[in-house]
Structure 1
Amino acid sequence: MVDFGEVLRTIGEFGLFQQLTLIALCFPNFTQPFILASFIFIQSDPERHCNTDWILRADPDLSTGEQLNLTLPREEDGSFSRCRMFVPVDWNISDIREHGLNETTGCRDGWVYTNSLYEATIVTDFDLVCGQTYIVQVIQTVFMAGVLIGSLVFGPFAESFGRKRATQIPSVIMFVSIVTTALSPGVYLYIASQFLVGFGAGGFRVNCIILSTEWIGVSKRSWGACMTQLFSALGQCALAVMIYFVRNWRLAQLITAAPLAVVVVYIWFIPESARWLLSRGRTEEAKKLIIKAATINKRPVPDDLLEKVSVSNTVNKGGLKIIFRSAILTRYFLIVVLAWFSSNLTVYSLYLNIGNLGLNIFLTQLLFGISEIPASLLSMWLLEIFGRKPLFIATLLTGGLSAILILAVPEGLSIVVTCLVVAARFFLLWAVSVTCVLMQELTPTPVRQTATALGTISGRLGGLVAPPLNILSMFSRVIPISVYSSLTLVSGVLGLLLPETKNKELPETVEEAENNRNVSQRNSTKL
């Protein structure tokens, strides 16, 4: 019998077929950073005052200055109140000038925003100010909850219905819900739409990596996760440019939906994972795809190869119990899950705080994107040179150290803080790519998708915890930084307990995963 690794070595481990599939699956990740634009690029406390046009009925020729003097109370520092106004009265203008107004109330007719960095944001469109400012944090949390639940649903879904379906359905959900987001007339529909956007994004991200990886041979397997991260990094750079020129959040969402409309068309032609088909006993379908891949790669397929392709009866009947029945696999799984959680917690905590770093927000966003590009490229190259374990440990420890050093910088040194934040993101996004590769190479085929989905879920859980953790900075900025940097450092140290998986075939069974066999060991066993 011939295993699928041998099939890939025969038809091409990373030929044109795999390259086209990888690019098609990675492209939607270019637009995923744009999804965050509507609740990242905002002014949470914009310059504003209550709309007091009611007084213009008494005298339509009032100057703006006089209108504000007559209708708005002043704060202790002499500035006009941003959240209060005088109660409207049905007096003529001379009585108002003579007697003045004393009774105050909240803004009854909305706000007038001034000196805004953006043309329109969810804050200004939905009036998320004064007593409604907390809704911005709610939106961030709901979005991350959608990402988490999407990963949770579409991970097991892919085990039962295939990797292909688990990428197609989330793509459609993302496209439709982003359009709905852009057209939302009120904040509650916006929140519901953002949940669905996160739901689709979470489901697509984990499955696109698995589907591409299962078609790639040992020599380039890490490219599945790293190319996904690279496209996301390019999207981060493009996002900075787009928001600089497009200051309207609704238009930004529609621009995001445009390339996804193309994805929704071509995603139906993406090939299924032949490895998954074989694991489900669907041998004939797998053979047709193998022949198709070989034809595109211009590689001959020996007749006896297809006859000897092993049909692995590894249908997942035990779920994650397959992992937890093994003490070794349980240890590997929990270490990688913790690393995934802590690195994402740190990355999102830093990113969602982008507006408070002190530098120009567009420049900071561009730096974030630019820093991710070498992280992805280095990951693809160095994973094949130094292996997974050393990079896992090094990236987590360096990223965690960069994050905790922020506490040593006095407040006000925004350039130094931004440099440390960029460095932490650089290494931790690199770490995310490594953890994704490790999870796939440490778990057997029957639960690879579910295990990777749960790893992704742990990362999304980190993103979900990030907004409320950042809120604790109102008590002390030390609290959130200490929490996420410490968890990251602990994860890096635990990496010492992991095995090296460089140049190892993807394990098909628990026994292979426990033994962590390489190619020669597997082939010698089969002989």
Structure 2
Amino acid sequence: MAGEENFKEELRSQDASRNLNQHEAAGHPHSWSLEMLLRRLRAVHTKQNDKFANLLDAVGEFGTFQQRLVALTFIPSIMSAFFMFADHFVFTAQKPYCNTSWILAVGPHLSEAEQLNLTIPQAPNGSFLTCLMYLPVPWNLDSIIQFGLNDTDTCQDGWIYPDAKKRSLTNEFDLVCGMETKKDTAQIMFMAGLLIGSLIFGLITDKMGRYPAILLSLLGLIIFGFGTAFVNSFHLYLFFRFGISQSVVGYAISSISLATEWLVGEHRAHAIILEHCFFAVGAMLLTGIAYSLPHWRLLFLVGGILAIPLISYIWILPESPRWLMMKGKVKEAKQVLCYAASVNKKTIPSNLLDELQLPRKKVTRASVLDFCKNRQLCKVTLVMSCVWFTVSYTYFTLSLRMRELGVSVHFRHVVPSIMEVPARLCCIFLLQQIGRKWSLAVTLLQAIIWCLLLLFLPEELKSMTILVLTLGKFSLAATVTVFFLYTAELLPTVLRATGVGLVSLASAAGAILSLTIISQTPSLLPIFLCCVLAIVAFSLSLLLPETRDQPLSESLGHSSQMRNKVKDMKTEETSSDDMSEEAAKNVILNAQILRLDPYPVSNPALKQFNKEEANSQAP
């Protein structure tokens, strides 16, 4: 009996040491201690409901393997921003004049100024007209100087750019004198690539896996990014930009899915936030390189060379074990988990691996049609599409409004990119304190405030308007970060990437609408639409469930279960407001003693102990 009592006491001491953090929390003020205890109780329930949470605990919650995985997502994010915003630096404004080299046949020693003075018409203010020229005449130079030329026409032999300091697409393909609309065509083509790529890569990521989708997108960045430097026509340039845009959105979808499924809890949030911070770093890097290079082709050459090392991801990038399980590839899932554990210098108990079995219901048949059939999935997709449409439309409208004010292209990218880094880092605090749902609502509310200020600011206050525009982009950067994390957690593993892709369709649609409206309507109407859309998105976001401390949905049937558990957790949290601190602590300790052991099935001694305890307490 004494040995049995010692065994029971030893088990109790092990459980008590496991709950050391809960005992330390009792020393804090009442409200903070109660909140911490309740949060940890929810975390306990989460781990019990998510078998992968226990597995990842055994693998190492955020060990060397996960740290390396997060670091691997940074470099492609930098290159994605590099290629995404390159258009803004290759269409530098150039002042063209008609090519009138025909006069050099009769006056080979004419200076450039004399040539322009004789062959280019002048405006009333004395400046040379950029799109007209005097037609050639069969006279000698003295006659031309004495009598002058009278007959004008549009440029016959192309254009020259005497004041150009850099070689850009504008003077490479003569996008002047009525051809300026092709600049907008390039942006629309890029948005069309985002539109199509969102759908294609969403399907590829869910059907073929996160690993192949990431490799395809990285291969696209290398081929289309490097190849753009060698195009010999503007139409070919548009084709390569179309390919780059698909690769950019493809990597965003597949990398978010992979990080979401490998990481748990706040580590997942931190990884996505840091990935977006490096996206802002990529925009700053692009600005610096574009400012120093004299030729637009060199910009894409540098970007392509920097992207070539991404080929190494073929050998070092892992697949998602959650996706492998959903596809019935149990053996491959176990191999990936064991490899991760070996990198983290951990050992997964064999009985825990044995719990990985094929799901009872076949989930491999999930398709895009399920977004219409499943009510919860349909609601999440529609609400998030509205939010993403609003964010995209507002972001591009603010950027175009800043361009209208005459702000230089380098300022428009450097300053907002610098401010985006702290904006995204602030999301760490928001997500920890108020969760995903209210973080999204707060960032949208900030965007509403800045857009309303823009409506009432007079045009004379140019500096103040630029400041408000910058702060608006600051808020939207935070919204994008929260949005990606929240969307990935709301969607089930079997259709996570497809859902993110469908939602991203709304992003491209919002950007295209912004480009269309701002070029055809007064300046205040696009801003007014920003306010209206932001208010609608804010209202709809309140309909979504919270996902913090909740297990990830694996299949379509799991969505409704998660929604019910969220409601139960809210009821529990409300009823616990009147609970004393000591009672809440007892709930935590009892729950952990009975349930916290991640391997309860494999511990017969503990099962026997619990059985004896129950018998001793029976009447």
TM-score, normalised to structure 1's length? 0.93
Q: 2:241 matched to which residue of 1? A: 194
Which of 297, 306, 310 lines up with 2:353 in the alignment?
A: 306
- Tell me: CA distance 1:97–1:43, structure 2 relative to 1, closer, same or farther (3 Å): same
1:73 to 1:383, Cα distance in 2 relative to 1, 3 A: same
1:180 aligns with 2:256: no
CA distance in 2, matches of 1:347, 1:140: 15
The residue identity in structure 2 corresponding to 1:261 is: I
SS in 2 for 1:510: coil
Q: What secondary structure sits across from 1:85 in the alignment?
A: strand
Counterpart of 1:447 (choices 466, 491, 495) is 495
Residue number in structure 2 paired with 1:515: 561
Root-mean-square deviation (CA, aligned residues, Å) is 2.4
Amino acid at match of 1:221: R
- What amino acid does structure 1 have at the position aligned with 2:417? G
Q: Match of 1:505?
A: 551
Structure 1 partner of 2:281? 234
Deviations 1:42-75 (A, max 9, x none): 5665322112121111111223332112101122
Question: Structure 1 residues 41 and 352 mapped into 2: Cα distance closer, same or farther (>3 Å)?
Answer: farther
Q: Deviations over 1:446-496 (max 9, x none)?
A: 211211111222223223333223312xx4111222223321222012212
Bigger drift between 235-244 and 170-179 goes to 235-244
2:476, 2:85 → 1: CA distance?
A: 21
Task: Tell me what 2:14 maps to.
Answer: none
Partner of 2:539: 493
* Equivalent residue letter for 1:309: L
Q: Is 2:93 aligned against 1:27? A: no
Three-state SS of the structure 2 residue aligned to 1:105 is: strand
SS for the counterpart of 1:95 is: helix
Secondary structure of 2:298's counterpart equals: helix
The answer on whether the counterparts of 2:402 and 2:466 sit within 8 Å (CA) in structure 1 is: no
Q: How does 1:76-475 map to 2 (within 5 A)?
A: 76-116=124-164, 119-312=166-359, 313-352=361-400, 354-472=402-520, 475=521
Q: Rg bigger for which structure? A: 2
Q: How many residues align?
A: 522
Q: What secondary structure does 1:91 align onto?
A: coil
CA deviation vs aligned residue, 1:237-269 (integer Å, no higher than 9, x gap): 222222222242211111111221011232443
Q: CA deviation at 1:324?
A: 2.9
**What per-residue deviation string (whole Å, max 9, x for no partner) do you get for residues 88-108 of structure 1?**
223211221233222212122
AA paired with 2:246?
F
Deviation at 1:336, TM superposition (A): 1.1
Q: Which consecutive unaligned segments of at least 5 residues does structure 2 have? A: 1-48, 570-594, 602-619
Give the whole-Å Cα distance in 1 for the aligned partners of 2:148 and 2:516. Answer: 44
Question: Counterpart of 1:3?
Answer: 51
Contact 1:146 1:196 in 2 (8 A): yes
Q: CA deviation at 1:315?
A: 2.7
Q: Which runs of 5+ in 1 are unaligned?
A: none
How far apart are 1:78 and its partner, in Å? Answer: 2.9
Deviation, structure 1 residue 180: 1.7
Partner Cα separation in structure 1 for residue 308 and residue 114 of structure 2: 51
2:110 to 62, 68, 79: 62
Letter in 2 for 1:377: L
Letter of the 1:296 partner, please give it.
V
Deviation by residue 1:357-394 (Cα, 9 ceiling, x = unmatched): 43443233211111110122122342122201111111
Which whole-Å CA distance do the structure 1 matches of 2:64 and 2:110 have between them? 71
Q: By how many angstroms is 1:314 displaced?
A: 4.6
8 Å contact from structure 1 (residues 178, 197) kept in 2? yes
**3-state SS of 1:132 partner:** coil
Normalising by structure 2, report the TM-score: 0.80
Q: Deviations over 1:391-435 (max 9, x none)?
A: 111111211331342232333533222211211111112111212
Q: In the alignment, residue 372 of structure 2 is paired with which amino acid? A: F
Take 1:33 and 1:90, find their aligned partners in 2: how far apart are those partners?
A: 54
- Distance in 2 (CA, whole Å) between partners of 1:477 and 1:505 is 46
Mean CA deviation greater in 119-128 or 218-227: 218-227
State the one-letter code of the partner of 2:551: E
Residue 197 of structure 1: SS of its match in structure 2?
helix
Q: Which moved more, 1:18-27 or 1:397-406?
A: 397-406
- Checking the alignment, whether the CA contact within 8 Å between 2:91 and 2:183 is kept in structure 1 is no
